[in-house]
Amino acid sequence: MKETLTYLAPANLDSLFQLMADYPQATIMAGGTDLLVEARKHGLPSYLLDIKNLKELNYIKIEAGYLAIGAATNINAIKESPEIEIWCPALRKAAEAFGCYEIRNRATLGGNVMRASPGAEFAPLLWVYEAKVRLLASSGFREMAILDFITAAGKTKRMPNEILEAVLLPLYDPKNSLQGYRRIARVAGMDLASLNAAVLILNAFDPEARQMRIAFGAVAPLPDRPTEVEALLAGKKITRELLAKAKVMLYEHYQPRATSLRATPEYKKIMTGNLLEMMLEEMGMIS
């Protein structure tokens, strides 16, 4: 590693891609809230390419059936967005739980996705929304399901000449769907989630047509949708008896690693079912 740090701050996307071509070794930095913590352990990269203030990556807008959130949009902007309140209220809830005001003002959605941490705040929601990512290179863009994009903890399919440009959330009719988010942490103040969970219910008010999407973070190497539990709860009234079966299935489905810093495997296994119950209770879905 060279001793000096070269800090590059492009004014627009054209200049970003020129700098990426000129300095292929440069590390992209958005809010820097993961990168600078990493730098304490491994040292700063020699070249930093700061994308945080690029207007082209800072937006929240509706486009062709999706809510598109630019990768450099910070978490406070997500928390305060009226569009997100309408279309993705559970995402707002996750933004409220995230860090503290100062961290939320720097941290970005794009950085959260690219860090690909198993316990990332937004991951279970992006899984139940079946979100897509849009990657941009100087030659054009491509889109991919988030499920295919994140391949392992800390690993994605981004190519070196690409940036994450946006996260695309399908629009689910709020009159017909319900969504929830819950997390548990060791302390009430600022702490990463020990376990987090999301639910999206489609055709929520018609038990026979009801579809369930459930996802958990920080309980497996990747965020996970327990599809057999989704199938069990779909298309019928959710009674206490049915929920008890779902909780047993969840308990058996997950084998969290023993080395987790934030909670024991047994606690996480039990809490998957409890978080699901809390969210369904809040939604008035248990009969």
Site string for ligand FAD, 239-278 (x = CB under 6 A): ----------------------------------------
Chain-centroid distance of CA 70 in Å reads 14
Q: What residue type is assigned to position 58 of the chain?
A: N
Per rule CB under 6 A, is residue 163 in the interface with ligand FAD? Answer: yes
Candidate residues 16, 60, 111, 178; the one interacting with ligand FAD per rule CB under 6 A? 111
Per rule CB under 6 A, is residue 216 in the interface with ligand FAD? Answer: no
Measured from the CB atom, the residue of 195 and 280 that comes closer to ligand FAD is: 195
Tokens 């299935």 sit at which residue? Answer: 249
Among residues 189, 183, 194, 195, the alpha carbon closest in space to that of 91 is found at: 183
CA dist 106 to 18, 46, 75, 238, Å? 25, 21, 8, 41
Measured from the CB atom, the residue of 6 and 176 that comes closer to ligand FAD is: 6
Candidate residues 16, 20, 30, 276; the one interacting with ligand FAD per rule CB under 6 A? 30
With CB under 6 A as the contact rule, which of the stretches 4-12, 100-108, 251-259, 277-285 interacts with ligand FAD?
A: 100-108
Q: Please state, in angstroms and rounded to a whole number, the distance separating the CA atoms of residues 187 and 184.
A: 9
Strand order in the sheet with 132-137: 60-63, 66-70, 163-170, 132-137, 140-145
Candidate residues 107, 184, 238, 275; the one interacting with ligand FAD per rule CB under 6 A? 107
By CB under 6 A, the count of residues binding ligand FAD is 30
Residue 69 in contact with residue 78, Cβ under 8 Å?
yes
- Residues 47-58: b if buried by 16+ CB within 10 A, e if exposed: bbbbbbebebbb
DSSP 8-state secondary structure symbol assigned to residue 182: E
153, exposed or middle or buried, with CB in 10 Å at 0-12, 13-18, 19+? Answer: middle
Measured from the CB atom, the residue of 111 and 256 that comes closer to ligand FAD is: 111
Measured from the CB atom, the residue of 70 and 246 that comes closer to ligand FAD is: 70
With CB under 6 A as the contact rule, which of the stretches 107-115, 173-181, 240-248, 273-281 interacts with ligand FAD?
A: 107-115
Candidate residues 103, 137, 171, 222; the one interacting with ligand FAD per rule CB under 6 A? 103
Max Cα–Cα distance, the chain, nearest Å: 64
Q: Please state, in angstroms and rounded to a whole number, the distance separating the CA atoms of residues 129 and 142.
A: 19
With CB under 6 A as the contact rule, which of the stretches 18-26, 29-37, 137-145, 205-213 interacts with ligand FAD?
A: 29-37
Q: Which residues bind ligand FAD (CB under 6 A)?
A: 27-35, 37, 51, 71, 98-99, 103, 106-108, 110-112, 114-115, 120-121, 158, 163-164, 190, 192
